[in-house]
Structure 1
Amino acid sequence: MNRYRVDLHIHTVLSPCAELEMSPDAIIKRAKEEKMDVIGIADHNSTRQSEVVKQLGGEFGITVLCGAEINTKEEVHCLVFFENNEKLNEFQVYLDEHLPRVKNKPELFGDQVWVDRDNNILGVEEKLLIVALDVSMDEVAAKVNEMEGLFIPAHADKTRFSVTSQLGFLLPDIPVSGIEVSANVKMKEFELKHPWVKNYSVIGSSDAHMLNQIGSSYTSMLLEKPSFSEIKMALKGEAGRKVVGIIKNDRLSTD
């Protein structure tokens, strides 16, 4: 077993709130500079940019998990990832069916384009990606679980768009793979206020919208190799795989 550096919350140029500098090649270059072993592409309510990043990552020795940061009916943000393109594309159909037809206003919210490896525009998303889906958190979790994906409530400590801000707590019957906290979390204080979080593996991510944020907060995981299946095992604490801790500013966070 070896320790790997894992940042599972990175936005690309497709997310309207991300900077235009967040192109696939720039993300991989920055991740390499930050010595990331695994990154997760999590654009708002869309998976369309993740495959190109995965292809480039493979050329530079970086494992890329493909998925999205979905916004449920309750306005709870959750990270979802899938092991292969077939399941990823199936979930994109699901997103297209449940994303309301609210037209994006680029001048107000930002551009929503996805690009190829050479940064040529492949398509423009006309529907605004940051709105809530018309399905609930438990419905999306059940769908992802049925597809054998990862389902992780995002930045659970935040006062907006989190399971704690919107629902107060996580219902124990919702099948989640783990819980993500933000880079600014005070873990002891958060656990004291929300003791249920101790029942899950907790990860930290950068939630990068700009290149210099990649790897600013990440998770150290003990894995046999950097892969989707190994990370899934680590989140469950199976066969010696595990989440070691959250790293901020290159130090293990103990607060």
Structure 2
Amino acid sequence: MKEFSADLHIHTVLSPCGSLEMSPRNIVRKALEEKLDIIGITDHNSTRQCREVCREAIKAGITVYTGVEVTTKEEVHCLAFFETFDILEAFQAYLDRYLPDIINNPELFGYQVVVDEEENISYEEPKLLISAISQNIDQVEAEVHRLGGLFIPAHINRQKFSLTSQLGFVPPDLIADAFELSKHTSVEDFLKQFPYMRGRTFIRNSDAHQQEAIGSIHTRLRMEHTGFDEFRKALQGKEGREVIL
């Protein structure tokens, strides 16, 4: 088994709250500097920048887990990751169907653009991506798992846009592959407040919106290689694969 460093919650220039410097090229360059083996691309309610990040990452020898940060009807943020571009596009169709038709105001919320390898704008998303989609958390979880993806509620300890802030607790019947904690708490401190979460799998990531945050906190994964199925096994703690915090 090998140990891999992973920052699985990174926003690109496509997220309205992301810095305009968060291009695929710059993200990969910073990931190399931070000696990350794996990065997760998780823009708000959109997967459209994932392909270009993958192209850049392949050149650098970095693995990308392609995904998204979904805002559910309850305004809970959840990470979802998918193995192939075809499945990713199927989930994008789901997001497009349920994202409300609220037009973005770039001066108020920020630009929402997809850029190519030369950092030229190839697409601008007209809908406001930080809106909540009209599907609740159970519906989102069901769709992610129907497509064979991994479902991870994001920064569950945060004071906003989290399970604990929006619902007040973590539903015991929620089917999640792992739970993300922000850099502002440790697993030990979180379990003191929510002891019923003992035995669950946790990951910690940067939730980077600016270059300097990439890799500032990361998760170590013990796996044979960086393939998606190995990631799934690590979250499940199967066959010697595991998450190390």
TM-score range, shorter chain: over 0.9
1:105 aligns with 2:105: yes
Secondary structure of 1:199's match? coil
Residue identity opposite 1:178 in structure 2: A
Residue identity opposite 2:41 in structure 1: I
| 1-structure distance, mates of 2:227, 2:144 | 18
2:160 matched to which residue of 1? 160
Residue identity opposite 2:179 in structure 1: I
Question: By how many angstroms is 1:188 displaced?
Answer: 2.5
1:25 matched to which residue of 2? 25
Contact 1:179 1:197 in 2 (8 A): no
1:61 matched to which residue of 2? 61
2:190 matched to which residue of 1? 190
Question: By how many angstroms is 1:199 displaced?
Answer: 3.1
Contact 1:145 1:175 in 2 (8 A): no
Question: By how many angstroms is 1:186 displaced?
Answer: 3.8
Give TM-score scaled by structure 2 length. Answer: 0.98
2:176 matched to which residue of 1? 176
| 1-structure distance, mates of 2:14, 2:228 | 23
Question: By how many angstroms is 1:141 displaced?
Answer: 0.2
Cα RMSD for the two superposed structures: 0.9
1:42 aligns with 2:34: no
Contact 1:4 1:38 in 2 (8 A): yes
Match runs of 1:218-229 below 5 Å: 218-229=218-229
Question: By how many angstroms is 1:189 displaced?
Answer: 2.6
Question: By how many angstroms is 1:198 displaced?
Answer: 1.8
1:204 aligns with 2:208: no
Question: By how many angstroms is 1:227 displaced?
Answer: 1.8
Aligned residue pairs total 245
| 2-structure distance, mates of 1:137, 1:7 | 24
Secondary structure of 2:42's match? strand
C-alpha distance after superposition, 1:134-183 (max 9, x if no partner)? 00001000110111101100001101000111112222222211000001
| 1-structure distance, mates of 2:114, 2:138 | 29
Match runs of 1:48-127 below 5 Å: 48-127=48-127
Question: By how many angstroms is 1:125 displaced?
Answer: 0.4
C-alpha distance after superposition, 1:92-112 (max 9, x if no partner)? 000000000111000000000
> What stretches of structure 1 move > 2 A for 4+ residues in a row?
186-189
1:11 matched to which residue of 2? 11
Residue identity opposite 2:180 in structure 1: E
Give TM-score scaled by structure 1 length. Answer: 0.94
Residue identity opposite 1:70 in structure 2: V
Residue identity opposite 1:35 in structure 2: K
Question: By how many angstroms is 1:244 displaced?
Answer: 1.2
Question: By how many angstroms is 1:200 displaced?
Answer: 1.5
| 2-structure distance, mates of 1:237, 1:159 | 29
Identity %: 49
Residue identity opposite 2:209 in structure 1: H
| 2-structure distance, mates of 1:197, 1:24 | 35
Secondary structure of 1:208's match? coil
Secondary structure of 1:217's match? coil
Residue identity opposite 2:238 in structure 1: E
Secondary structure of 2:69's match? strand
| 1-structure distance, mates of 2:197, 2:18 | 29
Question: By how many angstroms is 1:23 displaced?
Answer: 0.2
Question: By how many angstroms is 1:184 displaced?
Answer: 1.0
Residue identity opposite 1:40 in structure 2: G
- My pick for the range that moved more, 183-192 or 215-224, is 183-192
Residue identity opposite 1:232 in structure 2: R
- Gapped regions of structure 2 (runs ≥ 5): none
